Structure 1
């Protein structure tokens, strides 16, 4: 009986094993089927997400591309500033695009491939020479002379970033050193495994134990990419399982190049407020202000090191920690043969080299960007600008912007120190426009140009003082039968009782009345009384219309004080007004926006400049000439010694009640610039236009390149010599007059002292050559072609002007000059003020202004 039980027991054991094996097989089958189903589910999720995934990219903003032209004015400093904005590297021998070199004044530049608004331009090389601050001998890489060569446009930021921001790079554009270093540090088996690497995990553990710290991770690059795309960073077993499964699936569907590209674009490498810095492309610009393909090994090592923890290794907050991590990566690069021992020693001794924190913001030019956004909003939604990666092409000139920023920041500090003004109380703004196109070349809205707060260039509406006066004189010059630059106007006291009982009694800056003065002298010296008399004679409404035709849309008060600047305008509006004068009377609406394309450079929308002919070229030129005299002998003369006299600068100071606002607006033949100084609390600054804004304006214009020589007068203008009474002095019969431009429609009375000096007049009368009592006048429609004799006459006059400019240069440098300075009629002196102190040295007592009204 017992033996029978033992036999049954022995027989039942195989059956039980079989049942267990069958159960385990079925369980495994069910598990495999469940796993397969789950992986199929994960596979659907993976492919749907990756195949339909689009980055949320803010619009990229580009500066205007620098176009090198034969004969173009260019300073070496300006050229190198443009190269710096483009992140071009200086090399001894050019080895790749994005580099430049020079020997003396001979330059060679290798342009990068770039997609402009009008199409792609491939990488190419150019050579040229800077001769007397002009581009000469411009040649392509084949040595052929060319008229112009366009560089690529600098990336100057992004719009409305916030959230995740990145600058994606394609696999073919990833520098080999970046890819190989990333693989060496993060996943040495990347090219061989199928998403997970047990050997890599074991090797990482050994390396970390040897180093005594975390130097390698166990996850593969594929796993890390899956985690970055699909999961948060909270550790859990479920996440690790899903991560491993999806990594295998990713390796099945996508090649190694795509996986590496996506990881390089997806990894988080820093934070700037609400803006996350994702991907090596943007991180390179964020930390070094350089494109990824220009980084050196120690910079690559820092970025790769940050992938382990950008916050922990933040190079600004924890520089020593970041330095140690960078050098650890350099050690691995040496071990993998990516750099030599000598290179390791060289690069590990370098500092971190990151830029100043915050400089590489998504919006490094807040004042300019504010205007740009206002021009974009009618055409693009907030969401489009924030997420679709549009390419926005602008007018900003990086070298001019840098110059404007430095001049404002340093100029304000210097004024506070020199004038004993409380530190950090002065504020400033400036706007620079291209005269011909209206393009905004630079804009600064704060003494700290990077500060993205209140933009004074666009939003600070302040009274403009004497800046409005050119509109009064222009109104007069548009009536050539009544007024010209030599017309005598009365600089006498003005008293007007207004309807509300107030009395308007303006005063001159020197508290003197100067009697009868030529119109251009009243403009150059900024005489308030003469301007008030002239404006009242012309009529307030006519002056208001002139201001409108100069492109000003702001509210204009209908009171006499408007004639002297009781008008509130922003620096941007003032710049537009003076650009019209500089552009021969044609208003070109100032703009920052040139074109917009999609992320690939297609579907381009161009934005054309809006123009309007508000003023005839002849009176515009006459006004310009008067403003040139303001720079030479009037309120802008303080800048004469610092500016080249061979460039015809023109401009006007502006000072308001109690010296609250200091203005200067002026232009060269190419550029209009406006500078404002004041305090946000509107407290007195003790600065006039000539002591505050003018020095900063001068510093900006002094460093910009300009074309030399006088501005060509338009058809309809002729130069004549007149005496102090504005009477024509025929140079054939008498000497001693001032040469002034006049409209052909102007009739001048001859000077009495020139009569009776032509002994042979009776002889010429026989042949019909009797001179008229009035000055000769061209018998043609004003503004149309000149004859040969007239062109020869104007050519001789221009030659005389150049000679005068050269003599003035000699006089400025201490040499002798036979030319006499601008004089007023006898008995009308402005050499001393009411205290007997020379005006040049006089300091105002009480509320002394250029423009003053109760």
Structure 2
């Protein structure tokens, strides 16, 4: 009798234990599933009809663009046609002509704007494709390489799982995972890469759930859209469409068979097989994948040629050049950087020029913490475009709060105060050295280069941005007379001015936004002056100013106000411009540690270069310098 009672107790305890395990298992499954953001997958299960609003950008007759920049922009645009076909049609129509300096726009026409970026993460590019848009060779090839029983299993492949388990036991560590495509999707979309039992268990639970609630097409569509194909040009390449662009500069439908094998091969480990670091390893993987795809009859026999060593090296060389120039990073930046005053093509061109400039400076100067800031806006309105090359930092703080020495950009304002006190542009001033007696000691201003003549006119001194004539003229007029006039522009002016005369040469720190507003005020006031007394027109001929050696063929005969500035031994470099409509302030300089030596760069070789590149290659005609906007029915009231 006692044995029967004991047996009943054992059965009872076993049942309780089993029930507890079942309850725990159910609770754990519910816990896992409720903490998975399945909305990422439901997006692919819903009946999606992409409504991407198409927009266009106008290229104006008489303008210039660079073919390579236009071609890269076109690759990320909504235009499905090949760039060569677009170009050929425009040449035939006599809308463009290819010249030494670039592509000349003979007749105005429109180009497609950039496609929207579907990846909302920073430094990430993605364009989602419907399953029907994914060439069948890719998803069939993926199944053939990664998961041949994909169409038959329910998220877990027992054979693969058992094989992986045996291997792991033999090795006494996690070597194989036996993962199906569904499991790979779950790991990459919802979980981490850690090799633990708990992570694997979650992966199995979620995979079974997904297979029961989503179709195989949904799973493959999500896989090809969400998998990250590594990183290129500092941008995470998310999805098959982005991978086609970044690795082969093609849309997916134009990828050839061997290129398809390379992309499928990269899925095994985008970093492990990265073409810039592990080309030999990737070559072996691609050959293996391609051979398998041929065996699966996914390619016809006439398309079975593999790449030779020369082709591989050419491809890697092209990728290295793209990595250096970062044209696709510029496309991502353009889409992420908000601001409507410039169109997307203009923003793309400016970022491309910035990439090229900073890349060249880092080669010449070493790995310095260089950056670019800019504001470009409408002189008669409030609309502006603000740019900061370091997207990961706060643009508003960089533009509005971080101050830099303004250098010679102050001189047009200084000369206006001279003219207010009775000086004229034709007055003669000496270029001989001058020394002022200050409480802190003797101070002698220097020049960046030796003046050609012992005496020059004030207008010539302004055009050449000389320092000594500024101090001589200020000393002649009296620092006390100048100070109240300058305080109308600079509320942070140190007083008394006669003890801080270096401020007249730009030893004043201001953030970019303050410099922009300062010049907005200055330009409006100058436009009230008679043309012969207007400083804007005194600095309107680039052949006579500090950029005379930098100005290119297309800019030499244009009329625009511009002023360079270089301060802090090349750590702060400026260019301020006004073309009759747009006012711009561009700064190029060193951020971070400034305790070392100066830099051998100048406003004319950096900031002006960016201005010239943008306004030459943006696909718009150059505006004519004028003050007509300041008067008449459409003008401003001062």
TM-score after normalising by structure 2: 0.66
Which of 40, 62, 73 matches 2:63? 73
More helix by share: 2
Cα distance 1:542–1:302, how it changes in 2: closer, same or farther (>3 A)? same
Cα distance 1:546–1:98, how it changes in 2: closer, same or farther (>3 A)? farther
Q: 1:129 maps to which residue?
A: 96
The question of whether the paired residues in 1 share the 8 Å contact of 2:118 and 2:127 is answered with: no
The C-alpha deviation readout for 1:331-372, integer Å capped at 9, x for no partner, is 232233332223221557752846449779999579989x96
Which of 458, 462, 468 matches 2:410? 468
1:360-379 aligned within 5 A: 364=329
Q: 1:329 maps to which residue?
A: 289
5+ unaligned residues in a row in structure 1: which ranges? Answer: 1-28, 58-63, 110-125, 140-147, 205-215, 376-392, 417-422, 549-554, 586-613, 717-782, 787-854
Q: 1:303 maps to which residue?
A: 263
The question of whether the paired residues in 2 share the 8 Å contact of 1:42 and 1:246 is answered with: no
Which of 486, 492, 504 matches 1:563? 504
The C-alpha deviation readout for 1:96-117, integer Å capped at 9, x for no partner, is 81632358775399xxxxxxxx
The question of whether the paired residues in 2 share the 8 Å contact of 1:285 and 1:360 is answered with: no
The question of whether the paired residues in 2 share the 8 Å contact of 1:648 and 1:708 is answered with: no
Q: CA deviation at 1:203?
A: 13
The SS at the match of 1:531 is helix
Cα distance 1:511–1:88, how it changes in 2: closer, same or farther (>3 A)? closer
Partners of 1:367 and 1:579 in 2: CA distance: 31
Matched, 1:398 2:340: no
1:809-848 aligned within 5 A: none
Q: 2:535 maps to which residue?
A: 623
The C-alpha deviation readout for 1:689-729, integer Å capped at 9, x for no partner, is 66x6588569747953573585234278xxxxxxxxxxxxx
Partners of 1:321 and 1:688 in 2: CA distance: 45
Cα distance 1:304–1:358, how it changes in 2: closer, same or farther (>3 A)? same
Matched, 1:87 2:75: yes
The SS at the match of 2:539 is helix
RMSD over aligned CA atoms reads 5.9
1:260-339 aligned within 5 A: 260-265=220-225, 267=227, 270=230, 280=240, 295-310=255-270, 312-339=272-299
Cα distance 1:442–1:178, how it changes in 2: closer, same or farther (>3 A)? farther
Cα distance 1:127–1:150, how it changes in 2: closer, same or farther (>3 A)? farther
Matched, 1:178 2:132: no
The SS at the match of 2:83 is strand
The C-alpha deviation readout for 1:4-58, integer Å capped at 9, x for no partner, is xxxxxxxxxxxxxxxxxxxxxxxxx999999998986677467645675559x9x
The question of whether the paired residues in 1 share the 8 Å contact of 2:73 and 2:345 is answered with: no
The question of whether the paired residues in 2 share the 8 Å contact of 1:184 and 1:336 is answered with: yes
Cα distance 1:618–1:707, how it changes in 2: closer, same or farther (>3 A)? farther
Cα distance 1:359–1:483, how it changes in 2: closer, same or farther (>3 A)? same
Q: CA deviation at 1:469?
A: 0.4
The SS at the match of 1:618 is coil
Q: 1:525 maps to which residue?
A: 464
Matched, 1:639 2:546: no
Q: CA deviation at 1:181?
A: 1.9
Partners of 1:69 and 1:265 in 2: CA distance: 33
Partners of 1:542 and 1:580 in 2: CA distance: 17
Q: CA deviation at 1:256?
A: 1.7
Cα distance 1:444–1:266, how it changes in 2: closer, same or farther (>3 A)? closer
Q: CA deviation at 1:426?
A: 7.8
Q: CA deviation at 1:220?
A: 3.7
Cα distance 1:363–1:506, how it changes in 2: closer, same or farther (>3 A)? same
Q: CA deviation at 1:643?
A: 5.3
The question of whether the paired residues in 1 share the 8 Å contact of 2:287 and 2:306 is answered with: no
The question of whether the paired residues in 2 share the 8 Å contact of 1:524 and 1:626 is answered with: yes
Q: CA deviation at 1:654?
A: 3.8
TM-score after normalising by structure 1: 0.52
1:14-93 aligned within 5 A: 44=30, 48=34, 52-54=38-40, 67-71=57-61, 73-77=63-67, 80-87=68-75
The question of whether the paired residues in 2 share the 8 Å contact of 1:465 and 1:564 is answered with: yes
Q: 2:170 maps to which residue?
A: none
Q: CA deviation at 1:663?
A: 4.0
Higher relative contact order (CA 8 A, sep 6+): 2
1:469-484 aligned within 5 A: 469-475=411-417, 479=420
Partners of 1:82 and 1:688 in 2: CA distance: 29
1:656-735 aligned within 5 A: 656=567, 663=573, 665-667=575-577, 669=579, 672=584, 674=586, 676=588, 680-681=594-595, 683=597, 696=609, 700=613, 704=617, 707=621, 710-714=624-628
The SS at the match of 1:637 is coil
Out of 681-690 and 68-77, give the one that drifted further: 681-690
Matched, 1:152 2:114: yes
The question of whether the paired residues in 2 share the 8 Å contact of 1:646 and 1:708 is answered with: no
The SS at the match of 1:635 is coil
The SS at the match of 1:526 is coil
Partners of 1:251 and 1:471 in 2: CA distance: 71
Cα distance 1:202–1:136, how it changes in 2: closer, same or farther (>3 A)? farther
5+ unaligned residues in a row in structure 2: which ranges? Answer: 1-14, 44-53, 165-175
The SS at the match of 1:665 is strand
